[in-house]
Structure 1
Amino acid sequence: MQQQKIWGADTARRYDTPGSGMFAPDVLEPAVDRLARLAGDGGALEFAIGTGRVAVPLAGRGVPVTGIELSRPMVEQLRTKADETAIPVVIGDMATAVAPGEYSLVYLVYNTISNLLTQDEQVRCFRNAARHLSPGGRFVIELWVPELRTLPPGRTATVWQSEADYIGLDTYDVLHQHVVSHHFLFDETEEARLFRSPHRYIWPAELDLMARLAGFELESRHADWTGTEFTAESGSHVSVYRLPAPGNLDLP
């Protein structure tokens, strides 16, 4: 499954769900609040900006936002909300594409780093974030914790959500740290529509090592955007990594 095909025109048209799901105010507003505080007086760069779910309200807070996005159809949807002068976007891979300028904040939300399907690509993503940041800048990642403890012995799939109009299940390849998310959506005709996306899951400790390889330090980790304590039972985390400021560099 190539990412360009997954995030094509049909997915882009259906992606926005105003007021519900990932667009629900109790999901979106805490993320925008936290990112605005972390950006401070500087600019922000969003990797995989998509249709602007976070970027548009963040820019509305007065934060200059630039994006990198692989999918042109997703950017076309973004352009119905903000033009190029308001939110510039570079078309390309978030692991390698370069946006002009220097930023105080780079961020990756809603598990998107897992769309990179190899460890090497994920490490390059950290290095690409570091390339764009000013000294002391932050890289923020929102990511789920792999739910391997929910897998019964000998099984490779787990249902993580079940509702009248939606069933979500993941199939795991634990040898290669791969998972495919299967999203079954039902309408009033009782016919199902299937959307699938492949991911490479990352444990928090592995993520921290990737960060160190790119020169980052872990500044904080919480279970959500509101600052809930991260514990062994947390299903996701918001991790903030920071580049050392010039006066804090470790010298040999």
Structure 2
Amino acid sequence: MADQDPYYATAFAARYDDWFPSYVTDSTVDLLAGLAGAAGGGPLLELGSGTGRIALPLAARGLEVHGIEGAPEMTDRLRAKPGGRSVPVTAGDFSHVPVDGTFALVYVVNGTFFELPTQHAQVRCFANAADRLRPGGLFVLDAHVPEALADPGAAVATLPIPGGVTVRTRRVNRAAQQYTSDYLIVDGDGVHHVPVSFRYAHAGELDLMAGMAGLRLRDRFGDWKGGAYTSASSYHVSVYERTA
């Protein structure tokens, strides 16, 4: 997470895995592992490692994974899971905190990059990722297509959770290039409202940030299965390469 961690990351870390069903799938782990192999096999660095929902499956495949996480409560949850103590985690804002060593793959997924609240912070994150990569290393992130965020069909979603239900609504501020996901969570302890804010960016803006950091676009997929990115895609997975 970033310096000003979202409220959920500190107050609700113990419930995070239940309340926020993971969009991470086997395909996510497969693609990241394959990209790591193509870039030399590791080590890997996750920006916003959270409760370990990605780092731990990658580590279970024999990959060396490090994390950066700003909320100690989230890292505590990672540590409590099988294998969690084997993943080194640096505390701090993933957009600029220094980490020892260089990496074959740096990644930030599940929309976490866009919790950085300003363009400046996002540019700084690209630069920090590039500084951590060895030549030929890869930086991977996923992103909503902004036009899809405003699609009325995507504005409301109902998600079952253990012992309850979550209703997510989305408010888009096009002028500010921001959106807020409001989670109304109903479980055995009552009703909870958890807002999470994001600063979105178009693919072209991301490519410009990457270029400023010395990275070039290598691939852009339409999903974590490696499908084609088309005008019908609602999100993308972008892979940037450090060339020198």
Could you say which TM-score interval applies, normalised by the shorter chain?
0.7 to 0.9
Structure 1 distance, partners of 2:100, 2:7, is 27
Residue 142 of structure 1 corresponds to 142
Residue 234 of structure 1 corresponds to 233
Determine which of 156, 162, 169 is the counterpart of 1:160. Answer: 156
Cα drift, residue 238 of structure 1: 0.7
Specify whether residues 45 and 163 from structure 1 end up closer, same or farther in structure 2 by C-alpha distance, changes over 3 A only. Answer: closer
The DSSP-based 3-state class of the residue aligned with 2:113 is helix
Counterpart AA for 1:91: A
For 1:184-218, what per-residue CA distance to the aligned partner results, in whole angstroms no more than 9, with x for missing partners?
122379x5321111110111111111111111111
Gap runs ≥5 in structure 2: none
1:92 aligns with 2:92: yes
Residue 31 of structure 1 corresponds to 28
Question: Which sits farther off after the overlay, 113-122 or 223-232?
Answer: 223-232
Residue 175 of structure 2 corresponds to 175
Output the TM-score relative to the length of structure 2. 0.88
Counterpart AA for 2:195: R
Cα drift, residue 22 of structure 1: 1.2
Q: Which structure 2 residues correspond to residues 71-220 of structure 1 after superposition, within 5 A?
A: 71-81=71-81, 82-84=83-85, 86-146=86-146, 147=148, 149-150=150-151, 159-162=155-158, 165-187=165-187, 192-220=191-219
Specify whether residues 52 and 188 from structure 1 end up closer, same or farther in structure 2 by C-alpha distance, changes over 3 A only. Answer: closer
Structure 2 distance, partners of 1:42, 1:52, is 17
Largest Rg, 1 or 2:
1
Question: Which sits farther off after the overlay, 88-97 or 229-238?
Answer: 229-238
Cα drift, residue 39 of structure 1: 1.2
Structure 2 distance, partners of 1:54, 1:181, is 22
Is contact 2:68-2:93 (8 Å) kept?
A: yes
Output the TM-score relative to the length of structure 1. 0.85
Cα drift, residue 59 of structure 1: 0.5
RMSD: 2.3
The DSSP-based 3-state class of the residue aligned with 1:170 is strand
Q: Percent identity?
A: 38
Is contact 1:7-1:74 (8 Å) kept?
A: no
